[in-house]
Homo-oligomer: A and B are copies of this chain.
Amino acid sequence: MTVRMSEMTWMEFDKKIKDGAITILPIGACEQHGPHLPLNVDTVIAEGFAERLAGRVGAVVAPTINYGYRSKPLSGGGPLFPGTVDLSGETLIHLVFDILEELIKDGAKNIIVLSCHFENEAFVCEAVDLVSQKYGNKAKMLIANWWDPMPVEIIDQVFTEVPFPGWAFEHAAVTETSLMMAMAPELVHEDRMVDTQGVTPCPYNIYPVPADAVPETGVLAPARSSSAARGQLIIDSVLIELEKMCSKEFK
């Protein structure tokens, strides 16, 4: 049977929840990812991990939130790229709050919010905190992504040809490109991959966002050496960690 809540009837979903299934809420973004990747990279990856994890732990995947918090220049290219369509902080807080509240009212006791857009985190946490204040121990909620649980040794294995630039700059670069090649190869334009010079880190934020803060392609670090195999390596290693998380927290 499908793991997608959206494709279940209400009775199928009801049974899953009554049987104690974990609910996973994927959150992506609509954000530029350079000339070789589509705008929905964060969404595809969030759904990809959510469905794979759900398959392993018997979870239900709620409909995806397709838009995320404002892209920042040094982690996503920023708001000036056409195609980057961002939510404000308050909107994202309320959106996540409402969905979690409704899931809890429907009986969900174990929830994972799986956000694969770097900038979402603080606002997702705020939403979950507010839900938690309202519902106390009625539900346990985890907020996860794919990069924090990824073991350090996998970073070494993935970055054999180009240096690891840090997670913030891993935007449209080796890890995201490889994940897309493994999860949705038909959306990757390998021929359009450009060798970016990388961006200069800046230890402070500047507003208004300077037009020249990032390379004009929107790629923050080289994607060279990306491959479906590397993507699969990441997927496999992260799923093991996410499964461990489920075992430990939702016993």
Interface of A toward B, CB cutoff 8 Å: 5-11, 13-14, 17, 30, 32-40, 43, 62-67, 70, 72, 79, 81-91, 93-95, 97-99, 102-103, 105-107, 119, 121-123, 125-126, 128-132, 136-137, 140-145, 148-149, 187, 189, 192, 203-209, 218, 241, 245, 249
Interface of A is mostly: mixed
In the bound complex, how far is the Cα of B10 from the Cα of A33, in angstroms? 7
In the bound complex, how far is the Cα of B121 from the Cα of A125, in angstroms? 13
List the B residue with the shortest CB-CB distance to A130: B88
Residues of chain B contacted by A66 (CB below 8 angstroms): 6, 63-66
Residues of chain B contacted by A5 (CB below 8 angstroms): 30, 39, 83
Residues of chain B contacted by A137 (CB below 8 angstroms): 208
Say whether A9 contacts B30, CB under 8 Å. Answer: no
Minimal beta-carbon separation of A28 from chain B (angstroms): 8
In the bound complex, how far is the Cα of B204 from the Cα of A249, in angstroms? 11
Residues of chain B contacted by A136 (CB below 8 angstroms): 208
Say whether A33 contacts B62, CB under 8 Å. Answer: no
